[in-house]
Amino acid sequence: MQRRSLGRSGLTVSAPGLGCMGFSEFYGPTDEAAAPAALEAALALGYDFLDTADMYGNGRNEELIGRVLKDRRDRVVLATKFGIVRREGSSERRIDNSPAYLTAACEASLRRLGVETVDLYYCHRRDPSVPIPEMVGAMARLVEAGKVRALGLSEVSATTLRAAHAVHPIAAVQTEYSLWSREPEQGLLDACRDLGVALVAYSPLGRGFLTGAVDVAALAPDDFRRGNPRFQGEALAQNRRLAEALGDFARERGVTAGQVALAWLMARAPHVIPIPGTRRPERLAENAAAADLALTPADVAALDALFAPDAAAGARYAPGGMAGIESAAG
């Protein structure tokens, strides 16, 4: 497992890290009773960067992680988020970046996680009605109070990142980044490099699609991918051809498609940290081994050509899911 820096925060983490959202919802039926075994397996493999959010399972995801990490807090770098407010039992949501809300949200996350300090605290989505100095200033006060070690932003533009970084150092920006989601290369990736900020890549395996193991027709009725534009109609057909080509590329090299996708990301820049999510211990081991896969410059060039920035068909989210997502080029 490689280790990479979370910006200039002084924190280093495993690469890849582990996205924990799927333990609680969004990808069909969940078994939170079985989740601790997967988390235990991750820790045994060397994963020490765990990513959650207060809106995952409406707090249940944080509670789950808190139970597993009890008495082992010093073994992990723990990241959580605020900003997306959901009503229990409803798909409706709103975005809140107000100082009062984020301060209360941090206290609630600390309580659910059972910790005194969160290592990395992200604004999950931006509300442009709240001035950046106002929001980041309130986040900085959490650092001063010892409740948070480092600050992060999610799905923001390079312009927002620079403005926020001028108020208080930003350690990481989290955004969707993968072979089929290359928008961060439109300016955000370079801005992170210039400022000394880590780019934490969520959904680095295209929500599982790039592994070639997702049978869209068999997805559970409540799996959110059923409503994702990339998993429907003509877009699905085009994207399936891309995944098949990636599978062929991987088989020629004796590795898996998922490992190639993760290795490609880690080859982009030393400040990129992918956080694939999985509930299966065997996938955890497979993803961890991707850190040891060295792609040649010719391999990288071939993958860049296969997955040109406009190769994937369909939007990343349905229209409602795009709320609060800024253009990487902005």
CA of 44: how far to CAs of 227, 236, 281, 323, in Å?
Answer: 35, 36, 10, 37
Please give the C-alpha separations between residue 216 and each of 20, 77, 209, 219, 258, in angstroms, as whole numbers: 22, 34, 9, 5, 17
Torsion-angle region of 26 (φ positive above 0: left; ψ -120 to 50: alpha; else: beta): left
State whether residue 178 is helix, strand or coil: strand
Q: Helix, strand or coil for residue 321? A: helix
Question: Would you say the C-alpha torsion 274, 279, 283, 289 has a positive or negative sign?
Answer: positive
Q: Which residues are catalytic?
A: 56
Q: What does the alpha-carbon distance between residue 275 and residue 262 come to, in Å, rounded to a whole number?
A: 9
Helix/strand/coil for 54? coil
The identity of residue 202, as a single letter, is Y
Whether residue 151 contacts residue 121, with contact meaning beta carbons closer than 8 Å, is answered with yes
Q: How far apart are CA 288 and CA 293, in angstroms?
A: 10
